[in-house]
Amino acid sequence: MTSSFQAGVKACLPTVLGYLGIGFSAGIVGRAAGLSPLEIGLMSILIYAGAAQFIITSLLLLNSPFSAIILTTFIVNSRHLLMSMTLAPRVASRNRFDQFGIGALLTDESFAVAMNTSLKQQIDAKFMHGLNLTAYFSWIASTVLGALVGSWFPDPERFGLDFALTAMFIGLLYLQLESERSRVALNGILLVLVFLLLYIAMRYLSPELAVLFATMVAASIGVVISRWKSA
Amino acid sequence: MEIRLELLILFAACGLVTLIPRILPFLLMHGLTLPRLLTEWLSFIPICLLSALFFQNLLLAQSDDYPTLSSLHLAASVPTILVALTSKSLSFTVITGVLSMALIRFFL
């Protein structure tokens, strides 16, 4: 184990708490929907995406056709394309195996942690593996744990666990804003824009597509404003 | 304990469509020099995406209408944001969020 890998593990630790809260809830919800702990573990190993796993579980309960579940999963998880595109050029590795591994285990949280770290130092493949593997195993363990002891907690929402994800986004967003102080005014404008775009888009699109739409349009406006200001 | 074959197939298929957008840029953008316009655009993705994900958690989708603001999530966000600002710690922020939500639900 190299120090870079360890640094990745360490950088992941604050988000582990969030994974535990959400994973635990996902396990409970999965169990309530009639999935076995093994099936829940398998879902975490093969899919490894929090929001999508909740949605898949609820669609299974509704007896949705598999084609619809697969399509929905694709839409919900297509935002990873944006994260991968953003992160890929910043990771210094020419090894195909490394690149595959880093991309395969990318999540909202590991992306945010990686971006945050990349502003302070060069991130390498070992750092990303430490970060991603810690998150991956925390997720699998917490969903299985939730599935195993879920019957003791019939209502995970009562303990506020469902808010762990929202709280994590708040923390990650703040850290990202903090690291981009050089364009604090522009980022302020973008936050308002994202909210308005999302609000309007959620009338016409699914929440997941609305997130994608608001992100892409706001980022484009960000480019226009920054070019116009520097012109 | 069992694993149903049809679920194994479903999860594998869902895993595949999740994997593709995750790995594609890593496999394709390797060694490529991106146009400046694209790198500039990508530099705005973290803020825009994270804020969109946060705001989406505050909004409740309505059928055929604009979403409504969840006062429950908004209320739990206030102490969470304050702790994020003062502690600058992700762990404290997540713990505060979960506790706030639990307390709000307890007293409502």
Q: Please report the pLDDT score of residue A2 as a whole number.
A: 59
Q: Mean per-residue pLDDT for A21-30?
A: 88
Q: What's this model's pTM, rounded to 2 decimal places?
A: 0.86
Q: How high is the pLDDT of residue B1?
A: 65
Per-residue pLDDT, B108: 82
Q: What is the pLDDT of residues A41-60, one digit of tens each?
A: 999 999 999 889 998 998 89
Q: Please tell me whether residue A123 adopts helix, strand or coil conformation.
A: strand
Residue-level pLDDT at A170 = 95
Q: Which pLDDT band holds residue B75 (cuts at 50, 70, 90)?
A: very high
Q: Do the beta carbons of residue B42 and residue A86 sit within 8 Å?
A: yes
| A143 sits in which H/E element | helix A125-149
Judge: A42–B55 Cβ closer than 8 Å, yes or no. no
**pLDDT value of position A44:** 97
- Residues sharing a CB contact under 8 Å with residue A16, sequence separation 6 or more, in sequence order: A134, A135, A138
* Interface test mutation site (partner B, options A12, A67, A85, max chain B beta carbons within 10 A): A85
How confident is the model over A121-144, as a mean pLDDT?
95
Give residue B28's pLDDT band: very low, low, confident or very high (50, 70, 90). Answer: confident
Buried b (16+ CB within 10 A) or exposed e, A92-117: ebeeeebbebbbbbbbbbbbbbbbbb
ipTM of the complex: 0.90
pLDDT band at B17 (very low <50, low <70, confident <90, very high): very high
Domain ranges of chain B: 5-107
Strands (E), chain B: 59-62, 65-69
A220, closest residue in chain B (CA to CA): B41
Q: A198, B56: Cβ pair inside 8 Å?
A: yes
